Amino acid sequence: MFYTSTRNNSIKITASQAILKGLSDEGGLFVPEEFPKLSVDLETLADMSYKEVAYIVMKDFLSDFTEEELKYCIDNAYDSKFDTEEIAPLVEAEGTYYLELFHGKTIAFKDMALSILPYLLTTAAKKNDFHKEIVILTATSGDTGKAALAGFADVKGTRIMVFYPKGGVSKIQELQMLTQQEKNTCVYGVKGNFDDCQTAVKELFNDEALKKEMDEKGFAFSSANSINIGRLVPQVAYYVYAYAKLVKEDRILPGEKINFCVPTGNFGNILAGFYAKNMGLPINKLICASNENKVLFDFFKTGEYDKNRDFVLTKSPSMDILISSNLERLIYLLMDRDSSKLASLMKSLKENGSYNVKKELEAFNDTFVGEYSDWSDSSKKIHDLYEDTGYVIDTHTAVAAAALDKYVHDTKDHTKTVVVSTASPFKFGPAVMSAIDKKYEGKDALKLLDELSKIANVEKPNAIKEILSLPIKAENVCEIKEMKACLKKELNMNN
């Protein structure tokens, strides 16, 4: 299995090289040259543990890792850092299945990939005889930052630097990041929104002069954002695992098609679902749920991607994104893997903020559907689901759950559906609690967590206990244009 770049398909590198590099030199994303097929049948998968399924899914994408290497990565990632041995439990409520991906260290789905990425990356470095210190640069809309910090904390040979939009993340998300203690970690609040952060980080990656200077000082960049294929591949596993679980519990017959509804921002999670479908997993629809920043909803409806609109700060901040990076990987397939066509669309996105693929998009209409839900519908969903079943979902999962209701209402498609549940409600406690009952409005975020624990009948996760006990390491704030200088300062590159 080899990887090529969406913007230059004469490139051909191994999986471990793609993971080390993160982003291709000309700015493209690495993609597998073809999709492997699931090597084990669905009945057999049904009896496997999460780790076993992860191995089956990942081994053919990461074919230059030995069995021993990959199993070492998987065993160390999906261990007692997760608060349940199931790793990704499936919960039924009102006929819908919620795939809970928030049982890892930082209680968001980013842990599913970021608890394994450091192992994949350090293994890849060894395999390629790569001895530079790896500098992980990360732009975060809130959850990736903490998950990456936790994943790379104290990992030898790595440093991690996280940029988040100051004022654009939840209080708990911010505290989680600021209380990361390890010496190889640092965090900056940036005066701008997530798109500004992500664009600036991509520019640093492509800054040839900076790269050269870093190289001379013994540093090399990599990425923990979902532009790194090492994040995408582990995410394919939980789609297969969810399906296998439904088979095991006799909820579906092996081969029966199901829908997934995914709260979407950077398009990484749902793209992993599409990769699973391409491996042969019986998926009918992938419902792409957006919040008020509904650029993807409009895209799937019209074929026009247009980011020229106001950026809205919402109650689901991890989905507050107007430039969905991973969509590039889908568009590449849509263009029949023609990297020059793809490159010209991305040029148009950069220069005009838009591009149009209406004609080609028809080919994907039977798989992708765009939906969206604003806070009034999402908060009602949190409220109603709690009232009816006692189950509490977070603000991002609520966007998907409410969007699914709209979809079913409009289409009468009653295919069994898994809602991908991306964060613990504790991470967005105040918004969740005020949706459940107005009397909680305006109350202190940290105090509300005890109350949430009581009404949901769920113990406070360790990630929450930690922010209550750990000191803030440092509070750094910078302008977008200062990010490069901050990086150099942190790496002691000025002397």
Q: Catalytic one among 21, 59, 105, 110? A: 110
- C-beta of 109: minimal distance to ligand PLP in Å? 6
* CA nearest to 26, candidates 483, 328, 286, 343: 343
- C-beta of 142: minimal distance to ligand PLP in Å? 6
- C-beta of 390: minimal distance to ligand PLP in Å? 22
Collapsing DSSP to helix, strand or coil, 284 comes out as strand
- C-beta of 19: minimal distance to ligand PLP in Å? 18
Residue with tokens 């006929």: 95
Q: Letter for the amino acid at 265?
A: G
Which one of 115-123, 201-209, 264-272, 302-310 is the stretch in contact with ligand PLP (CB under 6 A)?
264-272
- Helical (H) or strand (E) element with 287: strand 283-290
Q: Is 110 among the residues known to form the active site? A: yes
Residue among 125 and 399 whose Cβ is closer to ligand PLP: 399
Find the binder of ligand PLP among 265, 273, 425, 430 (CB under 6 A).
Answer: 265
> Interface with ligand PLP includes 231 (CB under 6 A)?
no
- C-beta of 400: minimal distance to ligand PLP in Å? 9
> Interface with ligand PLP includes 424 (CB under 6 A)?
no
Residue among 52 and 328 whose Cβ is closer to ligand PLP: 328
- C-beta of 226: minimal distance to ligand PLP in Å? 5
Binding mask 281-320 for ligand PLP (x = CB under 6 A): -------------------------------------xx-
Dihedral angle over CA of 299, 303, 308, 312, nearest 10: -10
Binding mask 160-199 for ligand PLP (x = CB under 6 A): ----------------------------------------
* CA nearest to 321, candidates 335, 330, 333, 309: 309
Binding mask 102-131 for ligand PLP (x = CB under 6 A): ------xxx---------------------
Residue 356, beta-bridge partner list:
304
Residue 339 in contact with residue 7, Cβ under 8 Å? yes
How does strand 219-223 pair with strand 283-290?
Answer: unpaired
Q: How far apart are CA 14 and CA 30, in angstroms?
A: 10
> Interface with ligand PLP includes 429 (CB under 6 A)?
no
Residue among 101 and 155 whose Cβ is closer to ligand PLP: 101
> Interface with ligand PLP includes 143 (CB under 6 A)?
yes
> What tokens does 120 get?
């994949």
Range 208-227, binding ligand PLP (CB under 6 A): 226
Cα–Cα distances in angstroms (integers) from residue 468 to residues 126, 285, 317, 446, 483, in the given order: 38, 41, 22, 8, 29
**Under 8 Å CB-to-CB from 351, ≥6 apart: which residues?**
none
Q: How far apart are CA 332 and CA 186, in angstroms?
A: 34
Is the dihedral angle over the CA atoms 203, 64, 143, 271 positive or is it negative? positive
- C-beta of 68: minimal distance to ligand PLP in Å? 30
Find the binder of ligand PLP among 6, 138, 266, 293 (CB under 6 A).
Answer: 266
**Under 8 Å CB-to-CB from 195, ≥6 apart: which residues?**
307, 311, 321, 322, 323
- CA 15 and chain centroid, separation: 19
> Interface with ligand PLP includes 421 (CB under 6 A)?
no
Catalytic residues: 110
Binding residues for ligand PLP (CB under 6 A): 108-110, 143, 226, 263-269, 318-319, 396, 422-423
